[in-house]
């Protein structure tokens, strides 16, 4: 169908996007790769020298690295699980007829518009603060001991904040998918005596598979580099309880100004992200007939 002429034209039209992204990826990446083999601390100009793989040795043997790896997975996995489950339930609810659906939908999508920095500040100070926060007031009103969220359950608290931000996104996509479901099939199944759970597992869930894939893909992209929420609430602590890979690289490059070490960390993060990417793309390739 496509002629050689239109193929050439197609390549030409794709060129700007591809070239720009290649440049955006390769130039800084090449610089980062080069820096990663140097002793390069911003605060000590003139001391740059080639040190081989020393930066990598230090980064990969840093106890914080393994903690960060685990935290990254827990954060991505936790938020994905919560937003998908919550999103499906919410979508099922919002799909039902009730009064004021439009307004409730507005309320539910609102968190998506809030800047990550703002939502982290609000959650940390006004809700989760164990003395002056609203949750503490609530706990005291109920005669309970207020929980020190960011001290006692730091990672779960961050998962909660991030989930709040991404729940609307998951809900909306799942809801739209749900609305395109063939009602007659559901009714037919009901006639055949299939229970609500049966209908959910055998009809609704398969129908949502594509939407779930999209949510997983897009959220993973953003969740791998969650940063502002951690910076504002816990600074990666206490200890390394909430340090993810992104934050660890940040701490190296911009708190210690160890550009060499930070670059090595950045390269490691790129490799890890690519592993995740390959894995994800496989999954998407299967579910999303591109």
CB 276 within 8 A of CB 257: no
In the complex, minimum distance from the CB of residue 189 to another protein, in angstroms, rounded to a whole number: 20
In the complex, minimum distance from the CB of residue 202 to another protein, in angstroms, rounded to a whole number: 20
In the complex, minimum distance from the CB of residue 197 to another protein, in angstroms, rounded to a whole number: 18
Residues in the chain: 290
Written as six digits, the tokens of 163 are: 């989930």
Angle (CA) 161-164-170 rounded to 5° is 135
In the complex, minimum distance from the CB of residue 286 to another protein, in angstroms, rounded to a whole number: 12
Angle between helices 63-95 and 101-109 (to 10 degrees): 170
Backbone angles phi, psi at 129, to 5 degrees: -55, 125
Given the complex with another protein, which of 47 and 198 has the nearer CB atom? Answer: 47
Q: Could you give the CA distance from residue 147 to residue 154 in angstroms, rounded to a whole number?
A: 11
Cis peptide before 238 (omega within 30 of 0): yes
Given the complex with another protein, which of 195 and 239 has the nearer CB atom? Answer: 239
Helix, coil or strand: residue 38: strand
Written as six digits, the tokens of 196 are: 């609500």
Given the complex with another protein, which of 162 and 258 has the nearer CB atom? Answer: 258
Given the complex with another protein, which of 78 and 171 has the nearer CB atom? Answer: 171
In the complex, minimum distance from the CB of residue 104 to another protein, in angstroms, rounded to a whole number: 4
Given the complex with another protein, which of 9 and 201 has the nearer CB atom? Answer: 9
Given the complex with another protein, which of 78 and 116 has the nearer CB atom? Answer: 116
Given the complex with another protein, which of 35 and 37 has the nearer CB atom? Answer: 35
In the complex, minimum distance from the CB of residue 159 to another protein, in angstroms, rounded to a whole number: 16
Cite the DSSP H helix spans in the chain: 4-35, 54-61, 63-95, 101-109, 116-121, 134-141, 149-152, 154-179, 183-191, 196-199, 205-223, 228-233, 245-250, 259-287
In the complex, minimum distance from the CB of residue 201 to another protein, in angstroms, rounded to a whole number: 20
Q: Could you give the CA distance from residue 181 to residue 172 in angstroms, rounded to a whole number?
A: 15
């Amino acid at each position: 169908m496509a002629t050689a002429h239109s193929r050439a034209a197609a390549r030409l039209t794709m060129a700007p996007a591809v070239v720009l992204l290649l440049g955006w990826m390769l130039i800084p990446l090449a610089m980062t790769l080069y820096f990663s083999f140097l002793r390069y601390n911003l605060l000590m100009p003139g001391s740059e020298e080639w040190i081989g793989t020393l930066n990598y040795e230090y980064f990969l043997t840093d106890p914080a690295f393994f903690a960060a790896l685990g935290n990254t997975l827990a954060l991505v996995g936790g938020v994905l699980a919560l937003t998908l489950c919550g999103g499906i339930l919410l979508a099922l609810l919002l799909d039902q007829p009730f009064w004021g659906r439009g307004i409730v939908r507005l309320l539910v999508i609102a968190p998506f518009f809030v800047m990550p920095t703002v939502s982290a500040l609000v959650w940390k100070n006004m809700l989760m603060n164990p003395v002056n926060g609203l949750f503490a007031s609530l706990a005291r009103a109920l005669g309970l001991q207020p929980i020190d969220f960011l001290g006692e359950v730091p990672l779960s608290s961050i998962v909660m904040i991030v989930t709040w931000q991404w729940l609307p996104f998951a809900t909306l996509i799942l809801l739209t998918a749900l609305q395109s479901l063939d009602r007659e099939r559901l009714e037919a199944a009901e006639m055949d005596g299939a229970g609500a759970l049966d209908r959910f597992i055998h009809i609704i869930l398969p129908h949502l598979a594509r939407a779930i894939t999209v949510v997983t893909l897009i959220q993973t992209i953003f969740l791998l580099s969650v940063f502002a929420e951690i910076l504002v609430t816990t600074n990666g602590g206490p200890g390394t309880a909430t340090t993810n890979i992104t934050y660890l690289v940040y701490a190296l490059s911009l708190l210690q100004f160890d550009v060499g070490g930070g670059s090595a960390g950045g390269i490691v993060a790129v490799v890890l992200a690519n592993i995740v990417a390959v894995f994800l793309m496989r999954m998407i390739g299967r579910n999303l007939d591109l």
